[in-house]
Amino acid sequence: MHSSPTTAPTSVGAKKLTWFDDLLLLGIMAVLAGCGLIYEYLLSHYAGRVLGALEAAIYTMIGLMIVSMGIGAFAARKIRCAYTGFAILELSVALCGALAILITAAVIGFGQQLPMLIANTIGLPPDQLPQGGFIGSLQKLSEYLPYFWGVLLGLMIGMEIPLIARVRQSLCEAHLLHNAGTIYGADYIGAGVGAAIWVTLMLAIDIQLAAALTASFNLLAGFIFIWRFWDNIAHAKLLLAGHIIASGLLVLLASHGPQWEQQFNNLLYKDKVIYAKATRFQQLTFTERLRGNNLPAVYSLYINGRLQFSSQDEHIYHAFLVHPTLEASARHDKVLIIGGGDGLGLRQVLKWQPQQVTLMDLDADLVALFKNPDDTMPTRLRHALLKLNDDALNDKRVELVFDDAFNGADKLIRRGDKFDAIIVDLPDPSHPDLNKLYSDMFYLKLKELLSADGAITVQSTSPYHAPKAFISVGKTLASAGFNMQQYHHNVPSFGEWGWSIATLAGKAPRERLQPLTQLSIAEDWLTPGLIKGAFEFPGNYYQYADEVKVNDIGSMQLYQYHQQAWSENENLTLF
């Protein structure tokens, strides 16, 4: 008769630790370490992609989970039976890991819809939606849900190593001299494999599907453990039934979970979400707003929860981005666009009849959506996107380069390229990796690529909402040796927006544009008067400019300015 599973683990000392059991336990530990690392990435990735959270969420999540794992390792001492405890633990981890993102999406979506539900119920007008109080607290607390799941999963993951170590020790007649070292070795190797799986596989699939797949390995570990150590586990039949039920739930979550999660995420947007796609680098969401009186529908693109453009007014942004640059350039034969994978800025550039345009963007999947929209996209959206960019990405004069702009600029330099104009249309520096693309070193690279009589323009965030960030972009351009000036205009979807324009030699940009009485190309919206007026700022706007620092490479200065300015309005563009 085997010993009771409720006794101390060392009571099973009559059974030797066979090579098969040892290999099985170490293999289980390695698999679970990989799963634990993937859960960290999944939760922080969700916060960054869908909630539009600060990039610091990634580091906060990892830090919280590591601390929680330490606490969990201490708490594992309170579990009397390591065999039973481990079987229960893997069932719990699998359920929490698979459901965390879906439940978070549901709670956040409900919190955003609650004001409208209350207003519709009691007949409040749209401009008097209830805010603050309980509703405001619910919305704010829901943003911390990923961290709650991170702490909970961290506590449970932290228990895995001590329990496996106790099981391994209980199967050995003598003390295992290198028990801890062997277990940790398997754990570290498994975590490394998990990181590789995340980078090569998980980033390319839906985040809810990735969660379900990861949880399935926890369940598989639980099944194998129950099978092998059946006699040592209390209530083994009940736990086996729980694993079987959980397996059915995981199949359901893998097949329907991504759709459910997306429907919950769609509640975050005021307009109807008609298409969403997760690329290797970002979450893309397209919304549609239908209008009466035979007016065209309004289509908007959000990347990681932040508005990128609205078809209603994108022409304002892109006209100001492109036309002052090319008017200030001596020639327009060869143009470089960095970013702008939607082709909307490219559409404006092609009006100048350049001989060649090089467009460099990191995300090939995003460019593909605007170049050759796939069949899964609604037909009306496919037609709208190609009409918006005038099918510019399929123009034979366009060279597409898919690379990180910081490294891609080096490749263009090695190629010996020189451009008559450079247009930098990158996302705001809301991510540490983007900060380097607004640094003095990056602008020195662009300086090598720009012809001496050419001009460069950089989108520079909002001069109203983020004045220090806006001024810092301009000062950083100037520090790289450019003759820089700034201009701004209102883009209704974004509010007041700004750009920095610069030249290398000869007259400053504003001086080059001053004699302009008529644009060199056919343009039915932008006028010379609007361009000249855009260079005017309030008299005291730059009074504290001396206190704003240049964004030296590695300083993260611009990232900090941007985060400080927008932290109170992190989800401003979502609704």
Just list the catalytic residues: 425
Length of the chain: 575
Phi-psi region of 507 (alpha: psi -120 to 50; beta: other; left: phi over 0): beta
Contact 560, 254 (CB under 8 A): no
> What's the CA gap between 346 and 348, in Å, rounded?
5
Q: What's the 3-state SS for 189-223? A: HHHHHHHHHHHHCHHHCCHHHHHHHHHHHHHHHHH
> What's the CA gap between 157 and 238, in Å, rounded?
22
Count of Cβ atoms closer than 10 Å to residue 346 Cβ: 27
Contact 252, 259 (CB under 8 A): no
> What's the CA gap between 22 and 182, in Å, rounded?
10
Contact 327, 513 (CB under 8 A): yes
Question: Residue 79 has what DSSP assignment?
Answer: -
Distance, CA of 246 to chain centre: 30
Among residues 32, 80, 16, 13, the alpha carbon closest in space to that of 184 is found at 32
Q: What is the CA radius of gyration of the chain?
A: 28
> What's the CA gap between 91 and 22, in Å, rounded?
22
> What's the CA gap between 328 and 528, in Å, rounded?
12
Q: Whose structure tokens read 């989800």? A: 571
Contact 463, 491 (CB under 8 A): no
Contact 241, 219 (CB under 8 A): no
Q: Is 574 helix (H, G, I), strand (E, B) or coil?
A: helix
> What's the CA gap between 165 and 86, in Å, rounded?
11
Tell me the C-alpha to C-alpha distance, in Å, between residue 64 and each of 1, 159, 165, 442, 479: 44, 15, 24, 34, 39
> What's the CA gap between 214 and 32, in Å, rounded?
9
* Exposure class string for 244-277: b at 16+ Cβ within 10 A, else e: eebbebbeebbeebbeebbebbbbbbebebbbbb
Among residues 451, 515, 431, 444, the alpha carbon closest in space to that of 477 is found at 444
Name the residue type at position 564: Q
Contact 165, 86 (CB under 8 A): no
Q: Whose structure tokens read 């350039």? A: 329
Q: Which ranges of 267-332 does DSSP label H, i.e. alpha helix?
A: 314-327
Q: Is 6 helix (H, G, I), strand (E, B) or coil?
A: coil
Name the residue type at position 470: F
